Amino acid sequence: MKFNFTVHRYQIIFVILVFILTGSVKIVSKGTQQPYAAMQQRYPHSVALTFDDGPYPGGSTHKLLDILENENVKATFFVVGSHSRKNPELMKLIASKGHEFGGHTYNHRHIKKLTRNALLNELEITRTIIKNTTGKNTYLFRPPGGQYSKKNLSDASLSGYTTVLWSVLPKDCESSTTSEDIIQNVLSNTRPNGIILLHMGRERTLEALPKIICMLRLRGFKFLTVSQMMLENRNPNENSRN
Catalytic residue numbers?
52, 199
Residues 57 and 91: beta-carbon distance below 8 Å: no
Q: Given the rule CB under 5 A, which of 24-32, 49-57, 115-123, 132-140 is the region that contacts Zn ion?
A: 49-57
Nearer to Zn ion, 144 or 194 (CB): 144
- Calpha distance 224→164 (Å, rounded): 14
Least separation in angstroms between residue 114's CB and Zn ion is 15
Query: 53, 122, 155, 172: which one contacts Zn ion (CB under 5 A)?
Result: 53
Query: 31, 47, 50, 52: which one contacts Zn ion (CB under 5 A)?
Result: 52
Least separation in angstroms between residue 65's CB and Zn ion is 19
Nearest Cα residue to 87 out of 203, 227, 201: 201
Decide if residue 122 touches Zn ion (CB under 5 A). Answer: no
Least separation in angstroms between residue 145's CB and Zn ion is 6
Nearer to Zn ion, 31 or 144 (CB): 144
Nearer to Zn ion, 156 or 232 (CB): 156
Question: Cis peptide leading into 55, omega within 30 of 0?
Answer: yes
Least separation in angstroms between residue 197's CB and Zn ion is 9
Residue 63 buriedness (CB in 10 A; 0-12 / 13-18 / 19+): middle
- In angstroms, the first-to-last Cα distance of the chain is 23
Q: Given the rule CB under 5 A, which of 1-9, 18-26, 47-55, 221-229 is the region that contacts Zn ion?
A: 47-55
Decide if residue 103 touches Zn ion (CB under 5 A). Answer: no
Nearest Cα residue to 163 out of 97, 119, 107, 117: 119
What 8-state DSSP symbol labels residue 15? -
Q: Given the rule CB under 5 A, which of 21-29, 44-52, 95-103, 226-234 is the region that contacts Zn ion?
A: 44-52
Nearer to Zn ion, 53 or 172 (CB): 53
Decide if residue 232 touches Zn ion (CB under 5 A). Answer: no
Angle at 18 between CA 13 and CA 22, to 5 degrees: 165
Element (H, E) at 123: helix 116-134
Decide if residue 100 touches Zn ion (CB under 5 A). Answer: no
Decide if residue 55 touches Zn ion (CB under 5 A). Answer: no
User: For 113-122, which contacts have Cβ atoms below 8 Å and span 24 or more sequence positions?
Assistant: 114/152, 116/151, 116/155, 119/152, 119/155, 119/156, 120/155, 120/156, 120/159, 122/81
Decide if residue 172 touches Zn ion (CB under 5 A). Answer: no
Decide if residue 102 touches Zn ion (CB under 5 A). Answer: no
Query: 54, 55, 143, 144: which one contacts Zn ion (CB under 5 A)?
Result: 144
- Calpha distance 123→105 (Å, rounded): 6
- Using CB under 5 A as the criterion, which residues of the chain lie in contact with Zn ion when the complex forms? 52-53, 144
